[in-house]
Amino acid sequence: MEHMIYLDNAATTYPKPESVYQALDNANRNLAVNAGRGSYRVARETTKIIDITKEKLKNLVHVSSESCIIFTPSVTIALNEILNGLSIEPEANVYVSPYEHNAVARTLHFIAKTKKVNIIELPVMTDTLEIDIEKIKYMFTRNIPACVCCTHISNVTGYVLPIETIFVLAKQYDAVTVLDAAQSIGLIDINGKNLQADFIAFAGHKSLYGPFGIGGFIDMGKVFLNEYIVGGTGSDSLNLDMPLKSPNKYESSSPNIVAIAGLNAALNECNPEEVYLMEKELTDYLVSKLSEIKDIVMYLPPKDKHIGVVSFNLKGYKAEDLGMILDEDYNIAVRMGYHCAPYVHKYLKNEEYVGCVRVSIGKFNTSKEIDKLYDALLEIGGVV
């Protein structure tokens, strides 16, 4: 069988650049000590790598030097630290987009049960499923937002949300604004200085092409967070309270220097503009090929607001069955099901398929791989 065609990059990008693998190996062999917890040379070197990596992230997202990068083991933990750390009053209104991942949706559901806050979905236009800005303006006047949390790119449809406009509206009511940039950082140029986001959460293992085990968030320093995860920080150890200032206040436990070294190497090769153009071209090509197959049902946002992800179903097949056939018979790796996105499927109306098959593109994919997917779907039962 031929080598695997990997089309599940929205879950995690694969493969990684060779420099990332080399950095991981070197760090495992030569740098795997506790940064910030020793004065010896290697410990100092690991601390330097952490500082350099954070500086690269600041430059990538164009944030000020006063902002802080907080490293966590994943973007899910980062979002938990942010959302559980907010001082949200009972009956406050927290708005989310219908495109949220369970990293946000389940976290807010938990908070709603314990703090009795109101979780409200931002409205969409029924024909295109774009965020309805005019309705948002009205909703905010009736139910004033305390917090607005949005993903940047839908991991189900590839829709690029109008986060700049949404956050400007939210800030008219002094709402806390949280961006889930798990799918977008490294793919779309994010200007943190102009975005009006208080927090930007990121994943290292997706469009940044780093390894698992490293994510985090950017704290713009304008909103106070309570500690949510506490523990050792390597400083002031006799004090049972966490440090008062970011980032130490939110970075308990030993930092994953191996994963951070891998992310550091990945950032050296990060070029959002170049990757966006490549992924956009391949996304459009994929849509054009799937459009030739009559029994394919696609769930597409407007073309000019679409990148990287195409979800579809083939009539006569459950999503899980089609994905299994593509894997076992053609060695094509796709994702099937509901993709940890609980809200959006009521709009997609894909229950009869038990979700959808998701193809997500990375910078190492090619048009020839799209052609092989197309041929496989024709063999399985698609008709042109």
Residue matched to tokens 């496989």: 376
Per-domain residue ranges of the chain: 5-16+271-380, 18-268
- Is 1's pLDDT higher than 70? no
Record: fold of 5-16+271-380 = Aspartate Aminotransferase, domain 1 (3.90.1150)
The pLDDT of residue 158 is 98
Q: What percent of the chain has pLDDT over 90?
A: 86
What's the whole-number mean pLDDT along residues 206-211?
98
- Is 332's pLDDT higher than 80? yes
What's the whole-number mean pLDDT along residues 296-325?
97
C-beta separation of 109 from 116 below 8 A: no
**359 or 114, higher pLDDT:** 359
The pLDDT of residue 118 is 97
C-beta separation of 209 from 186 below 8 A: yes
C-beta separation of 305 from 323 below 8 A: no
The pLDDT of residue 38 is 67
C-beta separation of 162 from 133 below 8 A: yes
The rounded distance, in Å, linking the Cα atoms of 42 and 20 is 20
Cis peptide before 15 (omega within 30 of 0): yes
What's the whole-number mean pLDDT along residues 32-55?
89
- Is 178's pLDDT higher than 60? yes
Is beta strand 93-96 parallel, antiparallel or unpaired with respect to 215-219?
unpaired
- Is 288's pLDDT higher than 90? yes
- Is 37's pLDDT higher than 80? no
What's the whole-number mean pLDDT along residues 177-190?
98
- Structure token digits, residue 210: 């780093």
DSSP-derived 3-state class of residue 180:
strand
Nearest to 244 by CA among 255, 260, 256, 233: 233
The pLDDT of residue 203 is 98
Q: Which of the four pLDDT bands, split at 50, 70 and 90, describes residue 241?
A: confident
Residue 225: CB atoms within 10 A of its CB come to 21
- Is 59's pLDDT higher than 70? yes
CATH classification of 18-268 is 3.40.640.10, yes or no?
yes
Residue at 183: amino acid letter: Q
